[in-house]
Amino acid sequence: MTEQLPGFSTLAIHAGAQPDPTTGARVTPIYQTASFVFNDADHAASLFGLQTFGNIYTRLGNPTTAVLEERVAALEGGTAAVAAASGHAAQMMVFHTLLQPGDEFIASRRLYGGSINQFTHAYKNFGWNVVWADTDDISTFERAVSPKTKAIFVESVANPGGAITDLEAVAEIARKAGVPFIVDNTLASPYLLKPIDHGADIVVHSLTKFLGGHGNSLGGIIVDAGTFDWTASGRYPILTEPRPEYHGIKMHETFGNFAFAIAVRVLALRDLGPALSPFNAFMILTGIETLALRMQRHVDNTKAVTEWLSKHPAVSWVNYASLPGDRYHNLARKYTPKGAGAVFTFGLKGGYEAGISLVSNVRLFSHLANIGDTRSLIIHPASTTHSQLTDEQKTMAGAGPDVVRLSIGIEDKEDLIADLEQALAVPY
């Protein structure tokens, strides 16, 4: 007897949420409170000792945030999730849980510029060393593996270059190396791609983007696939050694296939502190309810805009993997058959100056540093998000001087095309 499993849109609305048993409130309330009372001293001791499930203090967990965590875990097909104040905070907690000073992790060069900065500079102070590899040449991941390697990190759909990562090929290298495979799935969202189905052990998101979807709340999340055997590996002491903070509990032995998420919560989140605000969790939850509708509209609009741009005389190239002939088209057909997201780059024949002119003359596209909003967004990465990178890093990240990045919103596509048309016609 098999129970029928709900579909994606049903989970996007219902997973994690239920009518409040005491008040009957149907929408998840915002539990805007720092702390939660204990039933009695034994209950308090059980909570602090991790012996029972429950709420203590909002830095460790909050009932509004918990609904968001379960919902994203359900949408990604994971065992558990931990929300964070931002996508960057989520990444920091993942690596804090996996790496010791002197350890290495391998990361794709094709990443969001902020992640390249975080990995290159901020992590140095922790003694975590990034080793770069290139998703266009999978053998570079294999060659980068060393005895110090503790994880492999990629973006499923890379920001901003639009590269699609061959997740299964990289997952296989991670398997052979005996390290967890971490996938940032921000640009695809689980509506377009579920990395756990392709071998990811840990999925991270900036919730600020398509999941929240409205550009109104920062947030990040870590999803534990429950697939990595920490004990068999023996190379992740936070998960397998007795924790002095908790009287000698061994995380993996005690929490099984959601041990990574628990370790992130009770060690990284507790001690580093980047908790998500319950209000932001509420805003993001509301956004997720319409994820399927929004993402479909995002990709439908993106298809129309990329097809139009690719025929425009001022445009030298369009990088969008769903376009026939794109170098990632086959990978997009495999991994993102509904559409390769709504963020893409294109090149202007007029180079750097043409890029500055376009972002200055659009009227409907917002010139700002974000993606995954209902509103259409435009940015010239070389002069903004990627300006701190070297020229080589810029080119490698798909952010050369002629490159413009668009994040296509859910407005009427005719209006988006008309705005680009008038802005491209302005002399510079």
Distance in angstroms (rounded) separating the CA atoms of residues 14 and 26? 11
Structure-block tokens of residue 10: 């049903």
Distance in angstroms (rounded) separating the CA atoms of residues 371 and 392? 24
Binding status of residue 94 toward another protein by CB under 8 A = no
Binding span for another protein by CB under 8 A among 3-11, 104-112, 184-192, 394-402: 3-11
User: Site residues for another protein, window 351-380 (CB under 8 A)?
Assistant: none
Closer CB to another protein, 5 or 34, in the complex: 5
# binding residues, another protein (CB under 8 A): 68
CB 135 to another protein: min, Å:
22
Binding mask 44-83 for another protein (x = CB under 8 A): --x--xxxxxxx-----x-x--xx-xx--xx--xxxxxxx
Closer CB to another protein, 3 or 392, in the complex: 3
Closer CB to another protein, 188 or 377, in the complex: 188
CB 303 to another protein: min, Å:
29
Please list, in sequence order, all residues whose beta carbon lies within 8 angstroms of the beta carbon of residue 390, skipping any fewer than 6 positions away.
none
CB 282 to another protein: min, Å:
16
CB 171 to another protein: min, Å:
12
Q: For 273-384, where are the alpha helices, taking DSSP H only?
A: 278-288, 291-309, 329-335, 351-361
CB 263 to another protein: min, Å:
11
Distance in angstroms (rounded) separating the CA atoms of residues 80 and 261? 6
CB 368 to another protein: min, Å:
31
H or E element at residue 204:
strand 202-206
CB 154 to another protein: min, Å:
18
Binding status of residue 90 toward another protein by CB under 8 A = no
Structure-block tokens of residue 312: 């425009």
- Position 371, amino acid: I
Binding status of residue 84 toward another protein by CB under 8 A = no
| 170 CB neighbour count, 10 Å cutoff | 25
Per-residue CA distances from 209 to 54, 129, 375 (Å): 29, 27, 11
Distance in angstroms (rounded) separating the CA atoms of residues 22 and 64? 15
Instruction: Quickly list DSSP for 133-152.
Output: EBTTBTHHHHHH--TTEEEE
Near another protein by CB under 8 A: residue from 37, 41, 244, 325 = 37
CB 265 to another protein: min, Å:
6
| 23 CB neighbour count, 10 Å cutoff | 8
Binding mask 277-316 for another protein (x = CB under 8 A): ----------------------------------------
Closer CB to another protein, 17 or 304, in the complex: 17
User: Site residues for another protein, window 214-253 (CB under 8 A)?
Assistant: 225-227, 229, 231-232, 242, 246-250, 252-253
H or E element at residue 202:
strand 202-206
Near another protein by CB under 8 A: residue from 32, 39, 360, 422 = 39
Distance in angstroms (rounded) separating the CA atoms of residues 128 and 120? 9
Q: For 85-155, where are the alpha helices, taking DSSP H only?
A: 87-98, 113-120, 139-144
Instruction: Quickly list DSSP for 159-197.
Output: TTT-PBP-HHHHHHHHHHHT--EEEE-TTTHHHH--GGG
Closer CB to another protein, 44 or 368, in the complex: 44
Near another protein by CB under 8 A: residue from 35, 146, 254, 422 = 254
Closer CB to another protein, 137 or 229, in the complex: 229
Binding status of residue 18 toward another protein by CB under 8 A = yes
CA 86, 223, 294, 157 dihedral sign is positive
> φ and ψ at 261, to 5 degrees?
-65, -40
CB 400 to another protein: min, Å:
38
Closer CB to another protein, 14 or 121, in the complex: 14
Exposed, middle or buried, 381 (CB in 10 Å: 0-12/13-18/19+)? buried
Structure-block tokens of residue 3: 């129970």
Binding status of residue 267 toward another protein by CB under 8 A = no
What residues line the site for another protein (CB under 8 A)? 1-6, 10-11, 14-16, 18-22, 24, 36-39, 43, 46, 49-55, 61, 63, 66-67, 69-70, 73-74, 77-83, 196-197, 225-227, 229, 231-232, 242, 246-250, 252-254, 256-258, 261-262, 265
